[in-house]
Structure 1
Amino acid sequence: MSDDDTSRPEVSGPAAGVVTAALRRAVRLQSGAARRYVHKLREDHPDESPAQIRSRLDSLFLGAVTASGAAVGGTAAVPGIGTIIAFGAIGAESLVFLEAAAFYTLAVAEVHGVDVREGEHEELLVMTVMLGASGTAVLANAVGSGAGSASRASLASRVLRVPGLKEINSRMMHRFVRKFAVKRAGLALGKLAPAGLGAAIGGWGNRKLGRTVVDTADATFGAPPLSWSAG
């Protein structure tokens, strides 16, 4: 475990339980939906390559989280919307962001032909992509550099073969709970700003976090395949 893990207090108790349950619910709900959506995109755009479908997923995800952040940030400009109600909306929108990130990650896995249908693999990759550079660092350390062709495979592919997944998931979950709570709490304060400022901060903040998710997916899954697999 890194110094970063030992130097900061862990988020525990009810808050940790809520985040953990939300993550697992998001993965459970979005897993099949993500695969079906990719299949639908392929049917609607039969001439498009995996890279082009992946680009569509990137745009869809960034547009969705930007819009949801701006909508919640705008509640502060509505007369009669109190701070407590606004915080409730922000809490719900955080779950929307989590589900959108889970959907996006699992859809990208489908495009790349990475079969992560086991729940622990799905959770691990969603947490990795949402954590950004620190997530990929933990995952890279867990799978090791290896040798030969295996070392050149993407992190997402290599994690399917790594032993001790429960231990890796536990470490990642501790980090995920802490960072998810901190990032969303900081963004929540900005969304409570008055008038249109809250909407602007909400949209900008969500897009920034969304961009981190997209960039980390690039690092985790690598470049899309050049063509679709026969299966």
Structure 2
Amino acid sequence: MAADALEGPVPESSGGGGPLLDLLDKAIGLQAPLVRKNIARARQRNPEATPAEVIRTLERMYVSALAGTGAAVGGAAAVPAIGTGVALALTAGEAFSSLELSALFVLSVAEVHGIPLDEVERRRTLVMGVLLGESGSKTIGKIAERTGQHWGRQLVNKVPMATLRQINRVLGRHFITKYGAKQGIIVLGRVVPFGIGAAIGGGANAAVATLTVRAARRAFGPAPEAWPGLAPEPTPDSTPQDG
């Protein structure tokens, strides 16, 4: 698996990015040390699961968790004693929880792929690139002056740190515009009263999570056949025969 530096301190903020990017940096910093625990949880029922099976479990866990947070906040608006005002306050906290869940998912998939995550800038590139979807991958390819599939696996390990910082500055501006606007629409849907907000909130979050899962698949490509650092066991047919 990736470097032990995942267990290190919370990364410093990239600075100058505004509240949303500060929240993103905080989410990445808090979730990075939990990546291996998250993978262990995904392997709990089947310790012999292949990387591909674990990634599928991580995807299901992520979609379910994100949908659940949206439905819980949306449901609060339907309770007369709580109402829309408190639901709006709850939504602010839920937005950070969504970023945490998303960061944990992306970094966990990267770990399964054996991508080193010991540097803060690489973590930011991976998380923002996946959350921005196609526009994120295009930005990374353009600035890094490389093209090809599976940028998460092929590009992040190869581009110089100075280029990564440049990429992250551009991704940060896009992230504020696109992710912030998307969350704003979802927030309005969540606080609709009479129980409608729960359906909108959970459904919207599930849709966002599904798009993130698809973006991660494009970014990282097929899962490794064996766990990083472990050579696949030879099949009986490939074992050399004496004589």
TM band (smaller chain): 0.7 to 0.9
* Deviation of 1:44 (Å): 5.3
1:113 aligns with 2:110: no
Q: Following the alignment from structure 1 to structure 2, what is the Cα–Cα distance between the partners of residues 177 and 225?
A: 33
1:201 maps to: 200
Deviation of 1:145 after TM superposition, in Å, equals 3.6
Q: Which runs of 5+ in 1 are unaligned?
A: 1-14
Q: CA RMSD in A?
A: 1.8
Kindly state the Cα deviation for residue 116 of structure 1 after the two structures are TM-superposed. 1.7
SS in 2 for 1:55: helix
Q: CA deviation at 1:42?
A: 4.2
Aligned to 1:45: 46
Q: How does 1:70-81 map to 2 (within 5 A)?
A: 70-81=71-82
Q: What's the TM-score once normalised by structure 1's chain length?
A: 0.86
In the other structure, the counterpart of 2:178 is 179
Deviates more, 1:96-105 or 1:133-142: 133-142
How does the TM-score come out when normalised to structure 2? 0.82
Could you give the per-residue CA deviations for residues 97-155 of structure 1, whole angstroms, max 9, x where no partner exists?
10000000000001111112201100111111111211122122233346xxxx56x31
Bigger fraction of residues in helix: 1
Preserved CA contact (<8 Å) 1:74 1:196: yes
Distance in structure 2 (CA, Å) of the matches to 1:43 and 1:203: 26
Any residues of structure 2 matched to 1:8-27 within 5 Å, and which? 17-27=18-28
Query: 2:156 corresponds to which residue?
Result: 159
Secondary structure of the structure 2 residue equivalent to 1:46: coil
- 1:175 is aligned with what amino acid? H
d(CA) in 2 for partners of 1:41, 1:104: 11
Can you list the C-alpha shifts for 1:21-44, whole angstroms capped at 9, x where unaligned?
101111111111012322454465
Kindly state the Cα deviation for residue 194 of structure 1 after the two structures are TM-superposed.
1.6
User: For residues 120 and 42 of structure 1, do their structure 2 counterparts lie closer, same or farther at Cα, with a shift above 3 Å needed?
Assistant: same
Q: Supply the distance in 1 between the matched residues of 2:109 and 2:19 (Cα, whole angstroms).
A: 26
> Using the alignment, how far apart are the partners of 2:72 and 2:111 within structure 1?
30
Greater Cα shift, 80-89 or 95-104: 80-89
Report percent identity of matched pairs: 34
Structure-2 change in CA distance of 1:16 and 1:89 (3 Å): farther
Shift of 1:51: 0.4
Q: Which amino acid aligns with 2:84?
A: T
CA contact (8 A) 1:35 1:106 kept: no
- Structure index of larger Rg: 2
Count residues with an aligned counterpart: 212
Q: Report the AA paired with residue 209 of structure 2.
A: G
